[in-house]
């Protein structure tokens, strides 16, 4: 199960969220087949890399035939109900559309069943909603935390005339959840659309800043609007709860603290060199059965890595050194874990320089199972491709296949990418 954090500090729309999911590694083909199952006319998805302000972002253009046929909520419900769609995707998409229909109905004083979905052609909205739902379902998220939503300010031109921002449907949809106009300097425009608000409020399991998590993929999604001087993009961070991840022995981000602090280093495609601390203690009086738990606790407290080495101490005593590689910001918390979770009464610390290659998380599919693959870059070339072992083990168990075969297939699929 993964943990997803959505950074809606630049608002959200259906197409921005679609781009962010693809940028985070959700295969376009997975999204396209869900949309194809529902759409009565052909829909083509065209992913492209764009820039929004200072950010590289993924945009997914939804190409539909010229028709701007409007469909009511009743029409869309029939399409979704009759589609050959995975049940969780159908259920989620129905909830999003129902929420949208109820909000629009309240705003315009009409029954939800009669609400027409948007001025730009219902097929766009169907593709956005179904695609985003399919993408989120594929992430198998147990928690979706959404930041306070920036809605923008000013006015927006809609089919029925000029609307204030937030548009009435957005204001309704975001009732009871944190929202604000935007950071100082935000453009006076609509940042969060009704579709974006309906998706966020349906997907969110809680609201707030980025939780303690080990990020394994970051997607930056763009829509069509590109105001000058503003990075109009939504970010999606996919990973695991830091504690849960370490309990299972995974370590997706070699340096989660650094990745959480900035945008991912691979965008610059240059290795990073950072000064970190190594905290360590030689311990001869700790029950060895407690060592794995202590290592988990060090990782959960913010260590980028933690490990133990067998040593022979004074008086010929077999013992262990427990080490933790720690960004300076986490040193105090990690030091405390040494004292609380081990028997040591002293901790040594020294500075080290860590050189890290930029890395990027990809997702491949083996027998229908999603496997994250970490690609490391040197001088713009991939020098290492490593499927995430937890994903390989889970896929092997689900498929009833030897893990060694699944690992090889995942690596080959990543090479193809």
Ligand X SMILES: O=C([S-])c1cc(C(=O)S)c[n+]([C@@H]2O[C@H](COP(=O)(O)O)[C@@H](O)[C@H]2O)c1
CA 36, 369, 200, 11 torsion-angle sign: negative
Could you give the string, one character per residue 108-137, with x where binding to ligand X holds by CB under 6 A and - elsewhere? ----------xx-----x------------
Span from 24-32, 63-71, 164-172, 174-182 in contact with ligand X (CB under 6 A)? 164-172
Cβ within 8 Å of residue 175, ≥6 positions away = none
In angstroms, rounded to a whole number, what is the distance separating the alpha carbons of residues 313 and 291?
A: 17
193 near ligand X (CB under 6 A): yes
How many residues make contact with ligand X (CB under 6 A)? Answer: 20
CA nearest to 130, candidates 62, 181, 70? 62
Least separation, in Å, of the C-beta of 155 and ligand X? 10
Q: How far apart are CA 82 and CA 76, in angstroms?
A: 10
Stretch that binds ligand X, among 156-164, 274-282, 359-367, 395-403 (CB under 6 A): 156-164
Q: Residue 180 and residue 205: Cα distance in Å, rounded?
A: 19
Nearer to ligand X, 12 or 283 (CB): 12
167 binds ligand X (CB under 6 A): yes
Residue 194 near ligand X by CB under 6 A: yes
Cα separation, 96 vs 94, in Å, equals 5
Cβ closer to Ni ion: 104 or 255? 104
Residue 244, token pair as written in the block:
């849960």
CB-nearer residue toward ligand X: 125 or 174: 125
Q: Reduced to 3 states, what is the DSSP secondary structure of residue 365?
A: strand
| 301 lies in the binding site for ligand X (CB under 6 A) | no
Cβ at position 378, least distance to ligand X in Å: 41
Cα–Cα distance, 158 to 63 (Å, whole number): 21
346 within 8 A of 284, measured Cβ to Cβ: no
Q: Is 106 in the site for ligand X (CB under 6 A)?
A: no
56, 141, 163, 333: which one contacts ligand X (CB under 6 A)?
163
Closer CB to ligand X, 14 or 253, in the complex: 14
What dihedral angle (degrees, nearest 10) is formed by the CA atoms of 184, 188, 193, 197?
Answer: 30
Residue 243 touching ligand X (CB under 6 A): no
Residue 13 interacts with, from Ni ion, ligand X, none (CB under 5-8 Å by kind): ligand X
Instruction: Show the site string, 79-108: x = touches Ni ion by CB under 5 A, - = not.
Output: -------------------------x----
Cα–Cα dist 142/357, whole Å: 30
Question: Which residue stretches of 249-386 are H helix?
Answer: 256-261, 291-300, 331-341
Residue reference for tokens 């200072």? 54
In eight-state DSSP terms, residue 249 is T
- Report what 118 binds from Ni ion, ligand X, none; CB cut-off 5-8 Å by kind: ligand X
Q: How far is the CB of 134 from ligand X (least distance, A)?
A: 18
The option from ligand X, Ni ion, none interacting with 195 (CB < 5 to 8 A, set by class) reads: ligand X
**What is the CB neighbour count within 10 angstroms for residue 45?**
18
Task: Output the smallest distance, CB 10 to Ni ion, in A.
Answer: 22
State the minimum distance, in angstroms, from the CB of residue 197 to ligand X: 8
Q: Say whether 53 sits in a helix, a strand or coil.
A: coil
Report the nearest approach of ligand X to the CB of residue 119 (Å): 4
190 secondary structure, DSSP code:
B
What is the Cβ-side half-sphere exposure of residue 357, based on CA atoms within 13 angstroms? 15
| Site for ligand X, residues 69 to 98, rule: CB under 6 A | none
Residues in contact with ligand X by CB under 6 A are: 13-14, 104, 107, 118-119, 125, 156, 158-160, 163, 167-170, 190, 193-195
Residues in contact with Ni ion by CB under 5 A are: 104
């Amino acid at each position: 199960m993964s943990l997803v954090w959505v950074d809606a500090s630049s608002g959200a729309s259906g197409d921005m969220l679609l781009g962010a999911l693809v940028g985070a590694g959700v295969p376009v083909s997975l999204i396209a087949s869900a949309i194809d199952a529902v759409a009565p006319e052909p829909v083509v998805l065209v992913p492209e890399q764009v820039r929004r302000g200072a950010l590289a972002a993924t945009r997914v253009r939804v190409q539909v035939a010229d028709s701007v046929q409007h469909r009511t909520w009743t029409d869309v419900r029939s399409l979704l109900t009759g589609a050959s769609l995975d049940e969780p995707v159908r259920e989620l998409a129905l909830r999003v559309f129902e929420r949208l229909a109820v909000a629009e109905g309240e705003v315009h004083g009409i029954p939800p069943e009669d609400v027409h979905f948007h001025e730009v052609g219902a097929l766009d909205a169907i593709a956005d909603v179904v695609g985003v739902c399919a993408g989120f379902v594929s992430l198998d998220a147990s928690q979706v935390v959404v930041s306070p939503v920036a809605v923008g300010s000013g006015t927006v031109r809609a089919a029925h005339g000029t609307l204030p921002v937030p548009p009435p449907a957005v204001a309704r949809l975001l009732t009871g959840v944190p929202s604000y106009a935007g950071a100082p300097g935000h453009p006076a425009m609509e940042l969060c659309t009704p579709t974006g608000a309906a998706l966020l409020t349906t997907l969110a399991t809680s609201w707030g800043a980025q939780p303690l998590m080990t990020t394994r993929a970051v997607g930056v999604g763009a829509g069509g609007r590109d105001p000058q001087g503003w990075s109009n993009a939504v970010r999606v961070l996919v990973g695991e709860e830091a504690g849960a991840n370490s309990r299972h022995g995974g370590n997706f981000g070699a340096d989660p603290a650094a990745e959480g602090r900035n945008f991912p280093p691979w965008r610059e495609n240059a290795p990073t060199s950072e000064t970190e601390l190594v905290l360590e203690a030689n311990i001869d009086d700790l029950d060895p059965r407690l060592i794995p738990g202590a290592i988990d606790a060090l990782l959960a407290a913010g260590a980028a890595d933690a490990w133990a080495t067998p040593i022979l101490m004074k008086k010929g005593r077999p013992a262990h050194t427990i080490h933790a590689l720690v960004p300076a910001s986490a040193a105090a918390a990690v030091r405390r874990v040494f004292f609380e979770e081990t028997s040591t009464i002293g901790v040594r610390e020294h500075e080290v320089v860590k050189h890290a290659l930029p890395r990027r998380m990809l997702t491949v599919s083996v027998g229908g199972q999603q496997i994250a693959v970490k690609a490391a870059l040197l001088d713009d070339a991939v020098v290492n491709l490593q499927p995430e072992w937890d994903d390989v083990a889970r896929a092997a168990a689900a498929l009833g296949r030897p893990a060694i075969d699944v690992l090889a297939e995942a690596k080959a699929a990543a090479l193809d990418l």
